[in-house]
Homo-oligomer: A and B are copies of this chain.
Amino acid sequence: MEALKTSTDVFFLMIGAVMVTAMHAGFAFLEVGTVRKKNQVNALIKIFTDFCISTVAYFFIGYTIAYGIDFFGSAPMISGAAEKAPEAYGKSGYTLMKFFFLLTFAAAVPAIISGGIAERAKFWPQAIASAAIVALFYPFFEAMVWGERWGVQKWFEGTFGAKFTDFAGSIVVHCVGGWMALAAVLLLGARRGRYRKDGTVVGIPPSNIPFLALGSWALSVGWFGFNVMSAQKVTDITGLVAVNSLMAMAGGLLAATLAGNKDPGFVHNGPLAGLVAICAGSAIMHPIGALATGAVAGALFVFAFNLCQNRLKVDDVLGVWPLHGLCGLWGGIAAGIFGATALGGIGGVNIWAQVVGSVAGAVYAFIAGGLVYLILKVTVGIRLTDDEEQVGADVAIHKIGAYPEDDLVRSR
């Protein structure tokens, strides 16, 4: 019986880990569809490479920072198979599976940043930034919120009467990723020709809407693993998390479709906006609250994307700051609103705790991201040369385009 329970927990977490891994294919295709053809290969390779770099960084350093446990014992020890295995690892390799599950969250941060800095960033400096963020800067914040380390959650409880609630990472993952990306985008500067000296804004159209849509679908579907499996134990599962995710996704899409006048970029980012916003409060809201949270996020994304690109002239290619940074921030706060019992929620949440924790996440991420990319900028440089950008990251970095057969035919 105990064995079955533990095994089912491991199985449960494994499905979550796999579903969020599949989301990374979604990140890749969302970027492939949005960038120009000459940068598609680079988009694909960045996401997959950063995922694998993150795996190594989080295994050897990051997870230990966040949860105070390392994997340097023998296989029977760390998987709980040996009789003398430390209890902390659990049975059936539970802690290893938990590492896998939480790695897929950690690796989302470089994947988010990737979409902002697309089409003009150097390859290896971005790889180094990914390693640094996933090894150090992401787990440092994660440790305080989810690892409950260093007394931060106790301070919240003492001060506000409730912990800072971020069930599945509106703040820890998305807000942090989005604000780090903003710092990186500002340090990198806009793409060549995006903003003319006379003040004109030049639109750079996406290359491939079906690929963009494929990315959106992969992210949306995988997101149910992101949220539902954040329970981490099968006996803590609840259909409420799934339905809240669904309702927020629907609210996000419908609001973005209306606010964005049926534009495919908005339609396909809308559900993601809703899903970003519902992560924090998905276990405590009523589904109607989730629908509202998602709808606000969908509209917020459309408004902030246009503001960011056309007024503020911040060349955040995929709009990852509006999507993850702002909708994440909204999600952290929304958990404090719609999670309250007065609005039909489960309760146990405090609005000021949510505001403080959420804003702290944004500020921390902006500073940490700024630090990482600033150091890289003044040392190795983070931007392609003008010529490289002109020819495209694919040929400049990878010596090949996305459609080599077509290039060959064309060159004849």
What is the CA–CA distance of A344 and B78 in the complex, to the nearest angstrom? Answer: 10
Contacting A214 at CB < 8 Å: which of B25, B208, B246, B291?
B25
- Interface positions of A from 87 to 126, Cβ below 8 Å from B: 92-100, 103, 123
Any B CB within 8 A of the CB of A263: yes
Stretch binding the partner chain, chosen from A132-140, A182-190, A221-229: A221-229
What is the CA–CA distance of A286 and B24 in the complex, to the nearest angstrom? Answer: 25
Shortest C-beta distance, A57 to chain B (Å), equals: 10
Any B CB within 8 A of the CB of A56: yes
Is there contact, CB below 8 Å, between B79 and A271? Answer: no
Is there contact, CB below 8 Å, between B285 and A75? Answer: yes
Q: How many residues of A contact B (CB 8 A)?
A: 117
Contacting A206 at CB < 8 Å: which of B49, B103, B405?
B405
Is there contact, CB below 8 Å, between B210 and A287? Answer: no
Is there contact, CB below 8 Å, between A74 and B400? Answer: no
Shortest C-beta distance, A50 to chain B (Å), equals: 10
What is the CA–CA distance of A19 and B242 in the complex, to the nearest angstrom? Answer: 13
What is the CA–CA distance of A18 and B5 in the complex, to the nearest angstrom? Answer: 23
Beyond A52-B250, A92-B238, is A209–B268 a contact (Cβ under 8 Å)? no
Any B CB within 8 A of the CB of A384: no
Of A8, A52, A78, A262, most B-chain CB atoms within 10 Å = A52
Is there contact, CB below 8 Å, between B10 and A239? Answer: yes
